[in-house]
Amino acid sequence: MDPIFPPELEEMIFTTTAKLNPTMTPTFLRLARRFRIWLEPLLYETISDRHPGQIKTVIASMSSNSKPPSFLQTTVRRLYLSQYNSISRLNTLKLLQLCTNVEDLVDLGHFVTPQLLPVVAGLPLRRVAINVDQLSNFGTIPRIDFAPLVFPFLTHISIIDSHIFTDRFPPAASLASLPALAYLSTNRNIGWHTLGQILEACPKLKVLMHVCDSDRTDDARKMAASTPFPDPRFVVVVVHTTFLERWEAGTTQDGGIDLWVEVEDFVVQRRKEGTGPLLICRHN
């Protein structure tokens, strides 16, 4: 396919189109070599093991050396590792060792091992979602501690657990030591005392979000109504989507709504209005 526009303009047009319509990218790749050079990296910006075909392609490229190590280093920015993923711990380790510029990591704990932690600590992470209970089950990490020298850019932390014990939750002092932390969420009640400690210890925190599934709406209402501190940063959110759906909505370029952005706007509005502690913010 011969060029119609100047190269810079053509690249901008097709790159923008591919970001807005990701399903069209494979078709574009077959049209011309220059399209593959421009657009193939977009396919690897976000890697999720909930999409087996994508993971198989990545693992195959690692095994065959069909792509230089620098390709994954420069392209992969977001990585989702599910609790029931289909790749081995060895391949998970290799993947993290190669994707050295990952900024957004979801690891639900199934493959977090002592060998993996030093690799994760070396990433320039800005967003992290972890399963504290799974992590603690290894026995080597009774309580998560975030070191500011290891995670200097970390702005978002999501604690994703089916249940959680307060003594396993990251201590307030540890969270307060993170220079860039502005957003924190949990999906289980860790106790008013712990929540209050976090809000007091982290004045730079913009949002402390407690997430409830829609089948726990009554619990969410009770929690919101019984909030003991008048801090507008604390928000109880009832969601009607899975964590993966919300995460993917925040990573796409097709108009998906990032839950964090929506809740922060809600907090800003409450500050302007001078209203008390949150009630319920719904997110569909």
Query: Residues 207-266: pLDDT tens digits?
Result: 999 988 888 888 888 888 888 888 889 999 888 888 877 787 766 544 456 788 888 988
CA neighbor of 157 nearest in space, from 165, 140, 141, 145: 145
Looking at the predicted structure, is the pLDDT value of residue 131 above 80? no
Average pLDDT over residues 158-162: 78
110 phi, psi to nearest 5 deg: -65, -30
Count CB-CB contacts under 10 A for residue 5: 11
Query: What's residue 251's pLDDT?
Result: 64
pLDDT tier, 284 (very low <50, low <70, confident <90, very high otherwise): low
pTM of the model: 0.81
pLDDT tier, 127 (very low <50, low <70, confident <90, very high otherwise): very high
Residue 34 domain-assigned?
Answer: yes
Residue 24 domain-assigned?
Answer: yes
Q: Give dist(CA 101, CA 72) in Å, integer.
A: 9
Give the domain range for residue 31: 1-43
Q: Give dist(CA 74, CA 251) in Å, integer.
A: 17
> Residue 104: which H helix or E strand, with range?
strand 104-107
CB 32 within 8 A of CB 5: no
Residue 27 domain-assigned?
Answer: yes
Q: How many domains does the chain have?
A: 1
Residue 14 domain-assigned?
Answer: yes
Residue 139 domain-assigned?
Answer: no
Residue 37 domain-assigned?
Answer: yes
CA neighbor of 128 nearest in space, from 104, 162, 99, 108: 104
Residue 38 domain-assigned?
Answer: yes
Residues contacting 79, CB < 8 A, separation 6+: 46, 47, 48, 95, 96, 99, 102, 104, 105, 106
Residue 250 domain-assigned?
Answer: no
